[in-house]
Amino acid sequence: MKIPFNSFATTHPQLREEAIKTFENFYDSQYYMLGNMVKNFEKQYAALNQTKHCIGVANGLDALHIALKVLGIGEGDEVIVPSNTYIATVLAISFVGATPIFVEPRINSYNLNPDVLEAAITKNTKAIMPVHLYGQACEMEKIMEIANKHNLFVVEDNAQGHLATYKGKLTGSFGHINATSFYPTKNLGALGDAGAMTTDNEKWATDCMTYRNYGSQKRYYNEVIGLNSRLDELQAGLLSMKLNYLQDWTTDRLRIAQQYLQELQPLAEAGKLVLPKTVENASHVYHLFVVRTEKRNELQQFLTDNGIGSLIHYPIPPHLQEAYQHLGYQKGDFPIAEEIAATCLSLPMYPYLTATQITEICDKVQLCLI
């Protein structure tokens, strides 16, 4: 049985008619830029995320970039970011001219460790960027406490965390301005690039709208040096359609994760595999189901040979990327991030994976590691 790492074959056929209807509405509206579909989606997503405002943009990277820009972060400033994040969080810091300061994650949750956060704060620190990695909410209460104590901004990277919560409050609703991505494979994904910022602050919401549209609110009058990063009208329509399914799809991800956790437990008990752990008060929406083993490369090859897809999120931590050589970091500087990069493997995870498929994957993992 072939099992891909990810597949739209389980979700998209059920949406086909609705998607075509959405396209027809879009086409017939003859209004293709920042029209009603964008406005409706922004309203729906703000309500879903329990924030006053949502501002749609072209992708998640731009959302992170614009959030930092609107908060006035720039040259000479330092921004704290987990050492094991996806490169986009770090790129956004570089785009505004600030310096990324890496802080190690907890080895059990893979999320920013609030216990070591304070030690990284200097007089130049302006913001903290928690990343709800793999779909698990960061320990937002402690992070917000530290940020408030030091007068720092918080920009959550919620690209992987749609509907995750910490103490019942949704990720993407804690920080000053938060960013998310609707890249097609995300828990809520468009059929192309898309992203958004969320905030409760009206002025920042207006500034985000200005920045995404050439720095202009009134046509041909430019207040700031902005970007062209508008959320595409058709993608907004498709996102509104998919939003109605997000809760069900999330519930299904939890079912799949539960089965993985159950069937792989003997390997974990034998010390041969590390399973994902959800920290107290956090919820996990399993954007990815990430296991760890010293035999990661062998396991990935074995799964490939048996027709099972898997991916590594992520093989090289940001401080060791060629693009960041100029920061002068070396192997060994962030051992937890490096350990995760060397041992992690993401197993297939998407709504409607069947119980039989999951058992097949778990059996193969077992066969390889036992």
Ligand X SMILES: Cc1ncc(COP(=O)(O)O)c(C=O)c1O
Residue nearest to ligand X (CB): 60
Selected from 56, 60, 318, 351, the binder of ligand X by CB under 6 A is 60
Choice between 194 and 320, CB closer to ligand X = 194
The neighbour count for residue 38, using CB atoms within 10 Å, is 24
Residue 9 half-sphere exposure toward CB, CA atoms < 13 A:
7
Choice between 60 and 100, CB closer to ligand X = 60
Nearest residue to 346 (alpha-carbon basis) of 282, 266, 256: 256
By CB under 6 A, residue 229 contacts ligand X: no
Choice between 61 and 137, CB closer to ligand X = 61
By CB under 6 A, residue 59 contacts ligand X: yes
User: 3-state DSSP helix/strand/coil percent for the chain, to nearest 5?
Assistant: 45, 15, 40
x/- letters, 102..141, toward ligand X (CB under 6 A): -----------------------------x----------
By CB under 6 A, residue 61 contacts ligand X: yes
Nearest residue to 188 (alpha-carbon basis) of 232, 140, 240: 240
Region of 55-63, 135-143, 226-234, 341-349 interacting with ligand X (CB under 6 A): 55-63
By CB under 6 A, residue 175 contacts ligand X: no
By CB under 6 A, residue 157 contacts ligand X: yes
**Distance from C-alpha of 106 to C-alpha of 204, rounded to nearest angstrom:** 32
Residues 6+ apart with CB under 8 A from 10: 350, 351, 352, 353
The encoded tokens of residue 116 equal 């070591």
Nearest residue to 27 (alpha-carbon basis) of 231, 194, 238: 238
By CB under 6 A, residue 22 contacts ligand X: no
Output the smallest distance, CB 302 to ligand X, in A: 26
DSSP bridge partners of 146: none
Binding-site residue total for ligand X (CB under 6 A)? 14
Q: Are 66 and 211 in contact (CB under 8 A)?
A: yes
Region of 86-94, 105-113, 270-278, 349-357 interacting with ligand X (CB under 6 A): 86-94
Selected from 22, 49, 89, 293, the binder of ligand X by CB under 6 A is 89
By CB under 6 A, residue 88 contacts ligand X: yes
Choice between 214 and 314, CB closer to ligand X = 314
Nearest residue to 204 (alpha-carbon basis) of 240, 177, 186, 238: 177
Amino acid letter, residue 81: V
Q: Are 136 and 278 in contact (CB under 8 A)?
A: yes
Region of 49-57, 68-76, 82-90, 168-176 interacting with ligand X (CB under 6 A): 82-90
By CB under 6 A, residue 289 contacts ligand X: no
Would you state the torsion angle of the CA atoms of residues 77, 133, 117, 178, taken in this order, to the nearest 10 degrees? 50
By CB under 6 A, residue 84 contacts ligand X: no
Contact residues: ligand X, CB under 6 A: 59-61, 86, 88-89, 131, 157, 159-160, 181, 183, 193, 195
